[in-house]
Amino acid sequence: MLKILDLVSDGASCAVRFIGSVAAWSGLALVLLVAFNVLARYLFSYSTVGLQEAEWHLMAVAALFGMSYGLNQGGEVRVDIFYARYSPRAKAIIDVIGNAALCIVAVYVVSLSINYVTSSYAIMEGSPDPGGLPMRFLLKAAIPAAFVLLALQAFAMTLRAIGELTDTGSRHSGSA
């Protein structure tokens, strides 16, 4: 049973790491786009609403998909001054509860955002600004997609914590 938990957990974490690396590269694209916009505006007096909107679209995608990657890499906020003093079993219990709660909240956000995205898609929403980017519904679709990924990572971490909990429990009971 622990092998299956490890396999599922590792597969989910691997998917999150891959998508996180893609999100990291979008950061480079954002820097290059901002640099282009600044240089074009000040050197050539050239600017478009579409390019300015592309900046915050890239930032939104990087932030949304970066959440699960940050969690995957241990970048979550936790009160380590207390957590560091706990036993491995207590840490595993806290991790199971915290990660399971995060998974539930992420799934809830997905359920809330589906209607938001489908409404946007139904009207083929684009930018309200002249010269803005079309297909804003694609950006909005990143919300449920990113939270599905966050739920997947939280689920993987819950499984890993359950594995640690059963592992520490078997060590305390004297069995191997």
Two tokens, residue 41: 């505006």
Number of other CB atoms surrounding residue 78 within 10 Å: 12
Long-range contacts of 137-142 (CB under 8 A, 24+ apart): 139/57, 139/60, 139/61, 140/113, 140/116, 141/117, 142/60, 142/61, 142/64, 142/65
pLDDT for position 22: 82
What's the one-letter identity of residue 71? L
Integer Cα distance of 46 and 113 in angstroms: 36
pLDDT for position 168: 59
pLDDT for position 34: 94
On whether the CB atoms of residues 146 and 20 are closer than 8 A, the answer is: no
Integer Cα distance of 4 and 27 in angstroms: 35
Average pLDDT along the chain, 176 residues, taken 10 residues at a time: 70 81 86 94 90 91 88 74 85 92 96 94 89 89 94 90 76 48
> What are the structural domain ranges in the chain?
2-172
| Residue 29, Cβ density class (10 Å: 0-12 exposed, 13-18 middle, ≥19 buried) | middle
On whether the CB atoms of residues 152 and 12 are closer than 8 A, the answer is: yes
Tell me which residue of 29, 31, 14 sits closest to 73, measured CA to CA: 14
pTM of the prediction?
0.81
